[in-house]
Structure 1
Amino acid sequence: MAGLSYLERRSAIEAYFDRTAVEAWSRLTSDAPLGRIRASVRAGRETMRQTLLSWLPDDMSGLRLLDAGCGSGALAVEAARRGAAVVAVDLSPTLIALARQRAPRCPGGGSIEFLAGDMLDAGLGDFDHIVGMDCLIHYPQADMVEALNKIGARTRASMLFTFAPRTPALAIMHAAGRLFPRKDRAPAISPVAEAALRRALVDEPGLSNWRFARTQRIKNGFYVSQAQELRRA
């Protein structure tokens, strides 16, 4: 998707997850048996989800959280169990329907509102924390920074997001991924260099009140992603 605008990329991602990959994504996020490659992705995503959850308060009563690109809703459910009022948004109406179907009744006073739409929609309101797990990895660095800038203006405490680190190993995996039949391919991931991303975030005036906190790279087979925490100064 080289050279595409944010809106064009967003449309391609929505089409893929809402139509092409629904069955595969449903299996990936369930307990169904998988092949070696997708099993490694499932395990990697679970490790990443638990990492991001560990960076959130254990008691989130009275806090509002945006789960951006919520997929099947697993992270949203756990945050709601901690007492958070969660807004879980995804571009795919089909995945939102799956998330609603899978979500149990939330104990602990929390709640989840599942919405199909754009994570950048200002109409979603303000939040204490936002989590964007693997929802920005399809966008180039400039779009990632702009998205964090827009979301950060509506966030009081922390922003947790992941990016695809630019590494030789990841480049090999992407090349192998291109061997899959076109109909099975996910939208292209846009790897970014960690140092360059940090410089771009520091140079963004709208993020001047944010500071780098924890970071963690998760690598499991064909899953490689890096979590970054930004905290409001």
Structure 2
Amino acid sequence: MVTATYKHYSGQLETYFDRTARDAWVQLTSEAPVSKIRATVRAGRERMRSTLLDWLPVDLSGRRVLDAGCGTGAAAIELAKRGAKVIAVDVSASLIEIARERTPVGLQIDWRRGDMLDFALGSFDHILAMDSLIHYPTDDIVAAIADLGERATRSMLFTVAPRTPALTLMHNVGKLFPRSDRAPAIQPVPVKSLHRQIAESRALNGWHRGREETVSGGFYTSHALELVWQ
């Protein structure tokens, strides 16, 4: 069930990407020159995207896949190249616009601006949510995964920001900047506690933990989890 805090953080993300960060994300998610700090984020995101895509079949023909929080569309494009029928959704109209512009000619992807938890999106074989839950606390992550799990039939792949000393320090330092200069804060979560809450969630009965992997380098740290239906 969508919570008030989920709506609050989702609204912050929409405002940030549509009003503040569009140009920065055009640059970050392209081959344009970036600072050394952003280069580590770009490299980390590329490694994470490759990891998640490796956990999905090479041939996705006939399967429906949701890219939940698709950003500028790199993962959705790769999924479509594998033959998947892809619905790619993001809260940011600006990022969806960029994704549409980058879609190769002849590739069919259903780009949508909206909430990734909208049940009107339909049901899917696989759901991928890369770095789209890292701004939410543990309770909201579990609730979101439970909502998505009602519409997935094979697997769900998602990432969280793992609570590490370095990531917690960066999170606390970020609070010192003026609000107008801040990106929406990443919420470091204790992975063991996340595991426990997922296992205890009645709404996730039938879903079991699969593979896990942490990608960390420079200013990027993210932990990937796979849930599979059995």
Scaled by the length of structure 2, the TM-score of the pair is 0.95
For residue 50 of structure 1, give the secondary structure of its aligned residue in structure 2.
helix
- Measure, in 1, the Cα distance between the counterparts of 2:181 and 2:212: 31
**What is the match of residue 72 of structure 2?**
72
CA drift at 1:181: 5.7
More displaced, 184-193 or 155-164? 184-193
CA drift at 1:173: 2.5
Instruction: Mark the CA change 1:189 to 1:211 in structure 2 (over 3 Å): closer, same or farther.
Output: same
**What is the match of residue 143 of structure 2?**
146
Identity between Structure 1 and Structure 2 (%) = 54
- Measure, in 1, the Cα distance between the counterparts of 2:116 and 2:106: 23
Question: Aligned residue pairs: how many?
Answer: 228
CA drift at 1:147: 0.5
Confirm whether residue 128 of structure 1 aligns to residue 120 of structure 2: no
- Measure, in 2, the Cα distance between the counterparts of 1:104 and 1:153: 32
Give the CA RMSD over aligned residues. Answer: 1.5
Confirm whether residue 25 of structure 1 aligns to residue 25 of structure 2: yes
Q: In structure 2, what residue type is equivalent to 1:8?
A: H
Scaled by the length of structure 1, the TM-score of the pair is 0.94
Alignment of 1:95-174 (within 5 A): 95-106=95-106, 111-174=108-171
CA drift at 1:184: 3.7
8 Å contact kept, 2:174–2:185 = no
- Measure, in 2, the Cα distance between the counterparts of 1:84 and 1:63: 5
Q: In structure 2, what residue type is equivalent to 1:83?
A: G
For residue 216 of structure 2, give the secondary structure of its aligned residue in structure 1.
strand
- Measure, in 2, the Cα distance between the counterparts of 1:35 and 1:177: 18
**What is the match of residue 56 of structure 1?**
56
CA drift at 1:175: 3.6
- Measure, in 2, the Cα distance between the counterparts of 1:106 and 1:219: 35
For residue 145 of structure 2, give the secondary structure of its aligned residue in structure 1.
helix
Confirm whether residue 47 of structure 1 aligns to residue 47 of structure 2: yes
8 Å contact kept, 2:87–2:110 = yes
Q: Deviations over 1:85-114 (max 9, x none)?
A: 00000000111011000110356xxx3100
- Measure, in 1, the Cα distance between the counterparts of 2:176 and 2:75: 31
